Amino acid sequence: MYYFTGFYCPGCGSQRAIHLLLHGDIIGAFRFNPLMVLTIPIMVYGVGITAANWIFGTSYRLLLFYSKVFIFGYFGLAILYWILRNLPFYPFNLLAPTG
């Protein structure tokens, strides 16, 4: 998206951040996309519950994923993050992906 518009999307830098996480560089990954890095534990927990349900035949649910407050709140956070990371002044310019 940056190539066409000059603006960073909420996912810009995610691929490089995942690469750095797989190499153990949490701080480097955080510099590329802090929202994605902070979201990974929630996603891993959700996938873990789903896998455990499949393996053990249970039906536990992560109620957080069924909460309208969480879903709309996270969507609002992503929109706010998208706006703030494109502001050209400190401290918001720290949210832009940097190498």
Range of the domain at 48: 2-95
Q: What's the confidence (pLDDT) of residue 54?
A: 94
Whether the predicted pLDDT of 99 surpasses 80: no
Lowest mean pLDDT among 29-33, 34-38, 59-63: 59-63
Give the chain's domain count: 1
Mean pLDDT (whole number) for 48-57: 93
H-type helices in 23-84, by residue range?
26-32, 34-56, 68-84
- Residue 63 and residue 29: Cα distance in Å, rounded? 28
Residue 96 has pLDDT above 70, yes or no: yes
Residue 20 has pLDDT above 90, yes or no: yes
For helices 14-22 and 34-56, give the axis angle rounded to 10 degrees. Answer: 60
Going 36 to 38 to 42 to 45, the CA torsion angle's sign is positive
